[in-house]
Amino acid sequence: GPGQQQYWRGGATVDPEELFRKIFGEFAGGRGFGDLNSMFDQAPEFVMELTFMQAAKGVNKEITVNIDDACPRCDGKGHEPGTKVSHCHYCNGTGM
């Protein structure tokens, strides 16, 4: 929900089957191509300071990000509407 703290590690992954469903409207009442704009929105960028050695050798860092966004299908609950077990197919259970 709004104001929750989320921990981000690494980049986004794309499930090819989920991408196919989003493009061809197998989910969400056949929204299909009308949903492509939100599917490919630019990811937010965050600035993190690194020393030269950290950049050269690599480092694991954890950042805290406040996200005020929720998945339009599951309203941030992370599961299909009306269920408590299945992952939401729109956001793959992330709630965003």
Q: What's the whole-number average pLDDT of the chain?
A: 70
Q: What is the mean pLDDT of residues 53-75?
A: 84
CB neighbourhood size of 22 (10 A): 23
Q: pLDDT value at position 53?
A: 93
Q: What is the C-alpha radius of gyration for the chain, rounded to an integer number of angstroms?
A: 16
From residue 51, how far is each of 6, 11, 48, 95 by CA, in Å? 25, 21, 10, 34
Helix (H) or strand (E) holding 64: strand 64-67
Take residue 7 and report the two structure tokens written for it: 């921990």
Q: What is the mean pLDDT of residues 42-46?
A: 73
Domain ranges for the chain: 1-96
- Give one word for 74, left, alpha or beta, with left for phi > 0 and alpha for psi -120 to 50: alpha
Q: pLDDT value at position 70?
A: 77
